[in-house]
């Protein structure tokens, strides 16, 4: 009996040993095979240098004069931009001669802004655009080449009525925040041919590391004093409208901006309503079409959008961008934010609180106190 047990044990031991040896060689065989495959792949790859299309550098002109103070112009060249360096020195133009004149011969020179590369402004706030007059931009570059815009007429704009805000739930399953939709109301004049553009600015409250009602315990001193702030948020500059289908009627409840709800506090919103010429409307409308294309097979090929600035010596040589003249109406709104349930917001809102760093390390241009000039809460 003892001999039979010993034989069975020997058989099991031999089988286990054979299995270990087989697994050992199988693993090494797979590793060796993978190595051969990788080596074969690399040996079959040839580096290909794809040609990069080189285009002639072009002037980019952006500017606006309104019936308010401080017209502005921005001058750059086309080139390679990135988020870490939005104004490369080689593409910024700071030494140009920039002038704005009206049809009556009155002109004013804009000077470079020492704190904002590529921007030109007016230090004299008494020069403002007048409704009914036309304005022309003239630019002389450092190399002596001259560009001029077509005359832009400053058309009147109807007054913007007080703003309204409407709360809207976001798709939390997609990680979207809730929103405040900002609605505008105005009366379109009876005359045909009115064009509008809206620009939006909101100061959005943000928190970092913790929410104010649940600060962490810190036995060594006060908690972070720069972890709660307001951050500017801008809407797209291309929200435009023609009165071709609504002439003489009210523009009511038009959503011009959706402010993301990132914290429970007051929100400060500013909307400006501009008049446009037909040429300016067409430019911004084409700009928006290109901005919102999805890249499908049915989208037209992207192309440079012609503005209204061209070389004086060769009118076929166009600059990119647009110089506009607009009347402006502005409204501001303070949204208290006290209708939002604090604890309910934290269920999904914690994802919008950066876990480390303060406002200065997480956001761009934060302010630690509410902005000035808004109506009280």
Domain boundaries, the chain: 59-153, 164-273+328-362
Among 6-10, 118-122, 227-231, the range scoring the smallest mean pLDDT is 6-10
**Residue 63, φ and ψ in degrees, nearest 5:** -170, 160
The pLDDT assigned to 120 comes to 97
How confident is the prediction for the chain on average, in pLDDT? 85
Annotation: CATH topology of 59-153: Immunoglobulin-like (2.60.40)
| Whether pLDDT at 1 is above 90 | no
Between residues 310 and 24, the one the model is more confident about: 310
Please give the average per-residue pLDDT across 12-28, as a whole number.
Answer: 50
The pLDDT assigned to 88 comes to 83
User: Do the Cβ atoms of 61 and 75 come closer than 8 Å?
Assistant: yes
| Whether pLDDT at 10 is above 90 | no
pLDDT tens digits, one per residue of 315-341: 889 999 999 999 999 999 999 988 889
User: For residue 157, what are the β-bridge partners?
Assistant: none
User: For residue 179, what are the β-bridge partners?
Assistant: 168, 260
3-class SS at 339? Answer: coil
Strand order in the sheet with 164-168: 164-168, 179-187, 250-260
Token look-up 């290909």 returns 48
Question: Whole-angstrom Cα distance, residue 13 to residue 228?
Answer: 69
């Amino acid at each position: 009996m003892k001999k039979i047990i010993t034989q069975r044990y020997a058989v099991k031991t031999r089988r286990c040993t054979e299995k270990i040896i087989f697994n050992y060689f199988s693993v090494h065989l797979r590793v060796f095979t993978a190595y051969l495959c990788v080596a074969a792949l690399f040996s079959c790859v040839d580096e290909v240098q794809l040609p990069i299309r080189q285009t002639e550098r072009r002037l980019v002109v952006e500017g606006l004069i309104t019936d308010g103070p401080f017209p502005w112009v921005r001058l750059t060249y086309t080139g390679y931009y990135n988020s870490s360096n939005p104004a490369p020195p080689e593409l910024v133009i700071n030494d140009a001669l920039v002038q704005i004149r009206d049809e009556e011969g009155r002109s004013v020179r804009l000077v470079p802004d020492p704190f904002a590369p590529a921007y030109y402004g007016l230090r004299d706030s008494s020069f403002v655009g007048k409704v009914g007059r036309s304005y022309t931009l003239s630019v002389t570059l450092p190399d002596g080449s001259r560009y001029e815009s077509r005359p832009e007429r400053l058309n009147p704009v109807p007054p913007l009525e007080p703003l309204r805000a409407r709360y809207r739930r976001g798709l939390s399953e997609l990680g979207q925040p809730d929103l405040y939709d900002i609605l505008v109301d105005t009366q379109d004049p009876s005359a045909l041919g009115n064009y509008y553009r809206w620009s939006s600015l909101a100061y959005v409250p943000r928190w970092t590391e913790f929410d104010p009602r649940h600060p962490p315990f810190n036995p060594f001193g006060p908690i972070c004093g720069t972890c709660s702030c307001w951050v500017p948020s801008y809407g797209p500059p291309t929200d435009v409208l023609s009165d071709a289908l609504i002439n003489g009627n009210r523009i009511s409840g038009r959503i011009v901006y959706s402010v993301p709800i990132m914290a429970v506090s007051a929100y400060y919103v500013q909307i400006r309503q501009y008049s446009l010429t037909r040429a300016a409307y067409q430019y911004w409308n084409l700009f928006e079409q290109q901005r919102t294309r999805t890249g499908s097979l049915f989208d037209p090929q992207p192309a440079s959008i012609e503005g209204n600035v061209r070389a004086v010596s060769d009118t076929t040589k166009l600059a990119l961008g647009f110089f506009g003249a607009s009347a402006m109406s502005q409204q501001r709104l303070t949204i208290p934010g006290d209708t939002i349930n604090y604890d309910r917001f934290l269920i999904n809102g914690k994802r919008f609180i950066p876990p480390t760093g303060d406002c200065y390390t997480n956001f761009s241009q934060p302010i630690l106190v509410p902005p000035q000039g808004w109506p009280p809460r």
